[in-house]
Amino acid sequence: MVLERKAVSLELKADEAGAFTAVFATFDVIDHDGDVTLPGAFDQGARIPVGAYGHASRDGELPVGAAAIASDTSTASIAGRFFIDTPHGDAAYRTIKNLVDEGVRQEWSYIFTIEDSERGERDGRPVRILRKLKVHSVDPVLAGAGLGTRVTAIKTRGEPAMSDLRAQRIRYGVQRAKMRLRGLR
C-alpha cells in the first residue's frame, strides 16, 4: 500500500469549541503534482483525523482534531473540530486561527491511497486522473499540492464561527475605526 498526500462547505455547530471548515481539494483542475481529482472521489461523510501540521502525524505526532468529509461538484471540504483540550490540538487551533485572523491563507493537504485512477491528458499535459480515493487524514500545511485549499470558517472561543468574508469585514471595520480615532480618516 502506497500512502500519498494532497494539499468541504459544511455547517459548523456554533457551540463547539475549536470548530472549523476547510476546503482540501478542488475538482477537475491539474494540481501541483499533476493530478486531476474527479467529483465523487471521496466518501461523503467519512470521519477522518485531522493530522498534525505538515503531515507530522506520519512521523508519530498525534492528530490535532477530527472531521467529516463532504463535497459538491467543485470542491471537497471537511467540517471538524480541533482537540483544544490537548496541548497539540490547542496549539494547532491557535496557530491556524491566528493565521486566518492575520489574513494569511492556511492551506490543507491530505494523505490517501488510490482505489481507482488512470493516466490521461488535460490541457496538453500528461496527468493522473484520480477517480476514487481513501483519505487517511486531512492536515494543515504551509503549501499543499491542491489548488484553492483554505479555511472557510473557524470558531472563535466563546463566539459563533466566523466566515472568511465576515472576519475580513470586521478587520476592515476595526482598521477604519482606528484611523478615524487617529484623525486619518
- 111-153 residue pLDDT tens: 999 999 999 999 999 999 999 999 999 999 999 999 999 999 9
Count of CB atoms within 10 A of residue 173's CB? 10
81 grid coordinates: 473540530
Backbone angles phi, psi at 162, to 5 degrees: -115, 130
| DSSP-derived secondary structure letter, 185 | -
Q: What is the pLDDT of residues 22-59, one digit of tens each?
A: 999 999 999 999 999 999 999 999 999 999 999 999 88
The confidence band for 80, taking pLDDT boundaries of 50, 70 and 90, is: very high
**pLDDT, averaged across the chain:** 85
pTM for the model: 0.77
Residue 5 banded pLDDT, cuts 50, 70, 90 = low
Instruction: Phi first, then psi: give them for residue 86, nearest 5 degrees.
Output: -120, 150
Sign of CA dihedral 140, 144, 145, 146: positive
Residue corresponding to grid cell 491563507: 105
Do the Cβ atoms of 166 and 153 come closer than 8 Å? no
Q: Please, which pLDDT band fits residue 11 given cuts at 50, 70 and 90?
A: very low
Going through the chain in order, the beta strands assigned E by DSSP cover: 4-6, 19-26, 35-37, 47-50, 65-71, 75-82, 107-122, 125-141, 150-155, 161-163
* Displacement of CA 40 from its chain's centroid (Å): 18
